[in-house]
Structure 1
Amino acid sequence: MSPTEHTIACCMHGFAPTDPSGLPLHEADPQAWAGIFSTLTDLDFTALEIADSHIRPADLSPERRSLLKELSTSAGVELTAVHVQRTSVIDPDHGEANLEYAHRTIDAAAELGCQVFSTGLHQPFSQAQRDALWFWTAKGWEDPDDPEIRSLAVQRLRELGRHAAEVGLPMSLEMYEDTYLGAAESAVRLIEEIGLDNVGLNPDIGNLIRLHRRIGDWREMHELTLPYANYWHMKNYQRDEAGDGSWFTSHPTTMQNGLIDYRAMVTRAVELGFNGPFLMEQYGGDSLGVCAENRSYLAGLLAQVQPTKGTTAP
């Protein structure tokens, strides 16, 4: 695979999940979807991740799902992934329903021609997170230190991974704080416990470096997780903290200007054989504009590194 063959997709954060009247984008007139694809092409994007916060492919009628695909194809925009978020399969109240929804989403992702099915173990926002300027500064859900619950996570994620394999899709699990995917060692162990070749990590270390608490070394986290990566949400944050741990601060920025050295990390990933899609992600401000800037930056990096043959998992 040459560097130019890597898919670089855009996230949906820059698009409102509802129209001015409050109608969800999921239920919107198809012209609203066409407008999204037009905006993306204006920004020179040729790929999009469908986030189920905006559109739930599994809950579209077959006719509307087909229309979504037709509109994207007509615009020259690939639907790279469907990302299921905040519907954890170990949610204490809705885990079984979330599992069933994930199964239906896998089938929908395959029908849409996606490259990957993406999910994780993050839970819905707490009220404190909904009230905060930046949700990661407030306390949210924590997966319990309970071997039985962790075993259930392995069991259900393995079930989803097998389904994804049956329809020809990799499954990628996003790293996210305070879940079993919330630290590099725990995330790698979870992938090894699932034990399927098509199940890998989304090493979104950006989710961790933004936290207003002590964090691990981002270089070490990448070194542990990149060998297992098959999809990559990429974003960066400026970060500062007191040496005595009395205060921490962070805010979103471009890939080039944040704490993570993506030149070094992308080079390392390609050395390890990473060949999955990249997803440009940004919170706040002109999210789409920053994603476009990051796409150009990443394309430049990929043009400078030589990929090696091999798989993305050991």
Structure 2
Amino acid sequence: MILVTGATGQLGTAVIQHLLRKVPASQIAAFVRDDSKAANLLKQGVAIHVGHYDDTDSLDRAMKGIETVLLIAGTDEENRVHQHQNVVDAARKAGIHRIAYTSRALKDPTTLVNRLMEGHVHTEQYIKASGLSYTLFQNILYMEAIPQFVGGEAVFERGIHLAAGQGRVALALRSEMGEAIANALASPSEGNLTYQLTGRESYSFYDVAASLTKLSGKIVTYTPAEPATFIAQLMGRGLPQLLAQRITGFVTDIANGQEDIISPDLEELLGRKPTPLNEGLTLLYKL
């Protein structure tokens, strides 16, 4: 029995839909905050458990009869390490066979500008110290995030302005990461495993601009911005200062090479080559 937490989120949904192609629905359970969002899963025969990471009783109930639990990282960045620890504690208490976690692929966590990413490191450490068998999925930046990063359709009018310098990212589709995670979860576990789910090639935002130019026929330029200037631009768009600083820290880490990591793990779990940048942007922008 496999329990997927955060099951109605975008990654959780992708994982479960691919799991349903690998194992019977009777072997899949979903942990959700709002059961109204899980109606489709229920129709497909997936067991639904309602609760949240701060509700330890709900976690205990959800863990009954579970062999493998996939902990999808929470979105409450300030509190998620404690919340993740609650999930790990419940899994250990229930005696589950394996815990899996969706972490982040980072080259050197000790030099991060965006300190919130350290939460993934702390969660990994807690899992390793738990004594449970584990599988860690260290995910690269989702290709689906590119429109959000560069301003959606507005990119064709104003170009790309980010504090990412010449930093490169081995972008990969979240949908394919979900498929790869499902393939790993549906396979017998063999000890403790760590997968880095990345594309086969890393790209800079110069590459993103060039690809969008080629695909659309409209000239898209990338202009690297200084961090202070970028923060001011974000605040000028109405973002609170703290959020602007977090976003800037994230893209500054890209500039510093934190996500310039290439691993064969995604390709091996998929059994095919991951979608490259041009094809991904064609899908995302419907070009």
Common fold, TM-score beyond 0.5? no
| TM-score, scaled to structure 1 | 0.34
Structure richer in helix, relative to its length: 2
| TM-score, scaled to structure 2 | 0.36
Is the radius of gyration larger for structure 1 or structure 2? 2
